[in-house]
Amino acid sequence: MVSRFDSSSTKPRLDPGKLQAFLVVLTVVIAVVSLMVGQAGIHPYEIVKILLSKLFPVERTWSKTIEAVIFDVRLPRLLAGLLVGAGLSVAGAAFQGLFRNPLVSPHILGVSAGAGFGAAIAILFFGNIILVQVFSFIFGLAAVFFTYALSRVYRTTPVLMLVLSGIIVGALFTASTSLLKYIADPVNQMPSIVFWLMGSLNNVANADLLAVGPLILAGIAVLLSIRWRINLLTMGEEDARALGVNTELMRGIIIVSATVISASAVCITGIIGWIGLVIPHIGRLLVGPDNRQLLPVVALVGASYLVTVDTLARSLAETEIPIGILTAMVGAPIFAYLLRKNRPGW
């Protein structure tokens, strides 16, 4: 925990403009590889022709099956991976700046625990994928609302109270989810709940992207537009107020934006951990702690990272590996290395 924003430490490690250009190219390459890889391998030239065929008259040299694989299976997964990876990374970086603590993640206020409980209810009583997503989104927002309401002390919201309230609310929803798993049918319902909680892009469809994609993009846009104010919040509330920042309003904007991103992501992919915790640290290693350069960089790094992990999840074995397992297996060692290499701080 730090109380001052060290302006001398904001000098970027790498040139932000060149780094962002490189990351854009890297993300495009990873996206093309993601569309190529799978049980049915597709040549990149053919992928480009299939994609362009929706905009220009292109001679059809491919089967309808390959076209369906691209547009109905792989492209929705790719777009979901880009959106969710970028969104969780930006939300994590914003929360770490807001709480002035490099060890918090987008799920610190209980959004993932609430979303998991909502999904478990829908799986247990309805078994409809659309209701699973709706219930997940609603309960994710409700969890953060309860956290914020519980943290209110004398009409203010101290940061420490927010964190403690998030732990309480998250523990309550996690225990409730465990109770639902205990009473669920062990043959059908229990595996569905467990698999959903592990996280996966397997069930993402075009309709899901149309429903939650604009919400994630809006949340990212808001956080990017106020990223210089997040720098002021990292100096501490008193200093930020002295510089003319309405800290209560700014805190609310950050929490709402990050919560909408997290709830939208969780409702279509399940709980995917470590991205919002680890990627901001990698971003600081590359460009430093200045959020004006940090947030665009972590958005690109997070997008390419999640797409890469998802490609591995559906390619390493005959059956798809839940993506939450891989993000934990990759993220935990990276985080341990970063903690060893750098002092916990900005």
Q: What are the tens digits of pLDDT across the range 74-104? A: 999 999 999 999 999 999 999 998 888 888 8
More confident residue, 293 or 346: 293
Residues 282/301, Cβ–Cβ less than 8 Å: yes
Among the ranges given (6-15, 46-55, 312-321), the one the predictor scored with the smallest mean pLDDT: 6-15
Q: What is the pTM of this model?
A: 0.90
Confidence class of residue 282 from pLDDT cuts 50, 70 and 90? Answer: very high
| Per-residue CA distances from 283 to 99, 169, 244 (Å) | 17, 30, 28
CA atoms within 13 Å, Cβ hemisphere of 209:
18
Residue 38 has pLDDT above 90, yes or no: no
Lowest mean pLDDT among 167-171, 177-181, 209-213, 288-292: 288-292
Report the run of H or E that residue 83 belongs to, with start and end: helix 75-99
- Quick check: 14 and 286 in contact, CB under 8 A? yes
Nearest Cα neighbor of 338 from 294, 276, 279 is 279
Percent of the chain with pLDDT strictly greater than 90: 54
Q: Give the residue extent of every domain in the chain.
A: 78-341
Residue 4: predicted pLDDT: 46
**What is the rounded CA–CA span in Å between residue 206 and residue 122?**
21
The pLDDT-based confidence of 217 (bands split at 50, 70, 90) is: very high
The residue with greater pLDDT, 153 or 154, is 153
pLDDT value of residue 64: 86
CB 269 within 8 A of CB 80: yes
Distance CA 171, CA 180 (A): 14
Predicted local confidence at residue 2, as pLDDT? 42
What dihedral angle (degrees, nearest 10) is formed by the CA atoms of 216, 217, 219, 221?
160
Residue 158: pLDDT over 80: no
**DSSP SS3 for 153:** strand
Query: What is the arithmetic mean of pLDDT over 287-294?
Result: 91
Predicted confidence (pLDDT) at residue 320 exceeds the cutoff of 90: no
The residue-averaged pLDDT of 38-45 equals 80
User: Would you state the pLDDT for residue 3?
Assistant: 42
CATH homologous superfamily, domain 78-341? ABC transporter involved in vitamin B12 uptake, BtuC (1.10.3470.10)
Distance, CA of 201 to chain centre = 12
Calculate the CA dihedral of residues 200, 36, 212, 84 and round it to 10 degrees.
Answer: 60
Contact (Cβ atoms closer than 8 angstroms) between residue 169 and residue 146: yes
Cβ(104)–Cβ(162) under 8 Å? no
| Chain mean position to CA 278 | 11
User: Are residues 346 and 289 in contact, defined by beta-carbon separation less than 8 angstroms?
Assistant: yes
Q: Which range has highest mean pLDDT (152-161, 183-192, 215-224)? A: 215-224
Instruction: Quick: pLDDT tens for 242-255.
Output: 878 888 899 899 99
Rounded Cα gap, residues 87 and 81, in angstroms: 10
Please give the C-alpha separations between residue 15 and each of 11, 19, 254, 288, 294, in angstroms, as whole numbers: 10, 6, 27, 11, 12
Q: How far apart are the C-alpha atoms of 133 and 266, rounded to whole Å?
A: 8
Q: How far apart are the C-alpha atoms of 98 and 254, rounded to whole Å?
A: 8
- From CA 21, how far away is CA 172, in angstroms rounded? 44
| Helix, strand, coil distribution of the chain in percent, nearest 5 | 75, 0, 25
